[in-house]
Amino acid sequence: MSTWARFKESYLFHSFKRDLIAIASFCALVFLIFIALSAPVVAPYNTYDTATIDIMDAEIPPSWMEDGEDRFLLGTDIQGRCLLSTMIYGLRVSFLIGCGAVVLQALIGILVGLFAGYFGGKVDGFLMRITDIQFSIPYLIVAIFTSAIFKLAFGVGRYEDLAIPLLIIIIAVSHWPIYARTVRAAVLGEKGKEYVEAARVIGLSRWVIMFRHILPNTMTSVLVISTIQVAEAIMSEAALSFLGLGMPITKPSLGSLIRAGFEYIFSGSWWITFFPGLLLVVFVLVILLLGDWLRDVLNPKLYKG
Find the binder of another protein among 74, 238, 290, 297 (CB under 8 A).
238
Contacts of 149 (CB under 8 A, 6+ apart): none
Work out how close the CB of 21 gets to another protein at its nearest, in angstroms, rounded to a whole number.
Answer: 10
Work out how close the CB of 1 gets to another protein at its nearest, in angstroms, rounded to a whole number.
Answer: 37
Work out how close the CB of 147 gets to another protein at its nearest, in angstroms, rounded to a whole number.
Answer: 9
Q: Is 145 in the site for another protein (CB under 8 A)?
A: yes
Q: Is 138 in the site for another protein (CB under 8 A)?
A: yes
**Interaction mask 172-211, another protein, x per CB under 8 A:** ----------------------------------------
Q: What's the rounded Cα separation, in Å, for the pair 285 and 274? A: 16
Q: Is 24 in the site for another protein (CB under 8 A)?
A: no
**Nearest residue (CB) to another protein, 53 versus 284:** 284
> What letters, b where the CB count within 10 A reaches 16 and e where it falls short, cover 54-67?
eeebbbbbbeeeee
**Interaction mask 147-176, another protein, x per CB under 8 A:** -xx-xxx-----------------------
Find the binder of another protein among 141, 198, 219, 302 (CB under 8 A).
141
DSSP state, residue 50: G
Nearest to 54 by CA among 36, 76, 34, 35: 76
> What letters, b where the CB count within 10 A reaches 16 and e where it falls short, cover 83-94?
bbbbbbbbbbbb
Work out how close the CB of 233 gets to another protein at its nearest, in angstroms, rounded to a whole number.
Answer: 13
Contacts of 169 (CB under 8 A, 6+ apart): 104
Which neighbouring-strand residues pair with 213?
none
Q: What's the rounded Cα separation, in Å, for the pair 54 and 56? A: 5
Nearest to 97 by CA among 181, 175, 45: 175
Segment 258 to 297, residues that bind another protein, using CB under 8 A = 258, 262, 265-266, 268, 270, 273, 277, 280-281, 284-285, 288-289
How many residues belong to the site for another protein (CB under 8 A)? 39
CA distances from 121 to 108, 199, 206 (A): 20, 21, 16
**Nearest residue (CB) to another protein, 22 versus 110:** 22
Q: What's the rounded Cα separation, in Å, for the pair 61 and 271? A: 7
Work out how close the CB of 280 gets to another protein at its nearest, in angstroms, rounded to a whole number.
Answer: 7
Segment near another protein (CB under 8 A); pick from 3-11, 177-185, 202-210, 239-247: 239-247
3-state secondary structure of 243: coil
Q: What's the rounded Cα separation, in Å, for the pair 64 and 258? A: 21
**Nearest residue (CB) to another protein, 157 versus 268:** 268
- H or E stretch covering 219: helix 219-242
Find the binder of another protein among 125, 126, 211, 250 (CB under 8 A).
125
**Nearest residue (CB) to another protein, 188 versus 209:** 188
Residues that bind another protein (CB under 8 A): 125, 129, 133, 136-138, 140-141, 144-145, 148-149, 151-153, 231, 235, 238-239, 242-245, 258, 262, 265-266, 268, 270, 273, 277, 280-281, 284-285, 288-289, 304-305
